[in-house]
Amino acid sequence: MASRRHRTELLQVGGVRAEVTYKPIKSLRMRVTPPDGVVKISVPLGLPPGTVEEFVRSHEQWLLKARQQVRLAHPPEEPLADGGRARLWGRWHEVRVEDAPRAGGRLDGDLLVLSGPDEAARRRGLENLHRRELQAVVPGLFAAWEPLVGRRHASLRLRRMTSRWGTCNTRTAAITINTALAERPQTALEYVVVHELMHLVERGHGPRFVAGMDELMPDWRQRRAALRGQP
């Protein structure tokens, strides 16, 4: 039996279908979750349904746009089997599968050779390949752009993230890069590196941040749009 302090309902407002969960919190919270762009709303217990509907209605256009962006940024995974395909640096490569007890991945000419006892292992092998490719490319980008930005990162972390391409801890100067960027053209990775370095100059995305990006990388908006819109 569901807790009386937690209940979930489906709400349809215009073009938005949302999962609404009532729980003991102080304020209404909303998020669009990957990979399918499901809208989830957490609502304080006792808040009238009409208030929730009006909240969704007032954010409908933003929600529709955010849902589209999440779906585009998280396309369905391709099966990693012989004759399948996977992306590396913006290009599709044919997949060849090798039987092996452990996960592995390598680029052999135009073929992506993945090994492992099952699909999950082969996906780990592909993730490891993406990580190695990033480890080979990212340091050069930092070396090229840090003198131009005028700031240096203190540490780098590579990990798979579901909703961000990169993050920057402005207190520790630690930068995290999404390993999924190895699937995109290197121009996208370069944009993310510069974006995160700029946060060491300006914490938010205000006029100073935008002016810095305009000066350093005049085509950053086009790179951002391609990163958001490429399936």
User: Binning pLDDT at 50, 70 and 90, where does residue 230 land?
Assistant: very low
The reported pTM is 0.70
* Least confident range of 3-12, 37-46, 68-77: 68-77
DSSP 11-57: EEETTEEEEEEEES-SS-EEEEETTTTEEEEEEETT--HHHHHHHHH
Residue 68 has pLDDT above 90, yes or no: no
User: Which residues contact residue 186 at a Cβ distance below 8 angstroms, ignoring those fewer than 6 apart?
Assistant: 89, 90, 137
Residues 152-174 have a mean pLDDT of 94
User: Which residues contact residue 52 at a Cβ distance below 8 angstroms, ignoring those fewer than 6 apart?
Assistant: 11, 20, 28, 41, 43
Residue 1 has pLDDT above 50, yes or no: no
Higher pLDDT, 162 or 105: 105
Please tell me the predicted confidence (pLDDT) of residue 73. Answer: 65
For residue range 172-208, list pLDDT tens digits in order. 999 999 999 999 999 999 999 999 999 999 999 999 9
Residue 3 has pLDDT above 60, yes or no: no
Task: Choose the most confident range, by mean pLDDT, from 11-15, 67-71, 138-142, 159-163.
Answer: 138-142
User: Binning pLDDT at 50, 70 and 90, where does residue 133 land?
Assistant: very high
For residue range 98-130, list pLDDT tens digits in order. 989 999 999 999 999 999 999 999 999 999 999
Residue 131: Cβ-neighbour burial (10 angstroms; 0-12, 13-18, 19+): middle
Residue spans of the domains in the chain: they are 7-73, 126-229
- The fold of the 126-229 domain, in CATH, is Zincin-like (3.30.2010)
Higher pLDDT, 121 or 227: 121
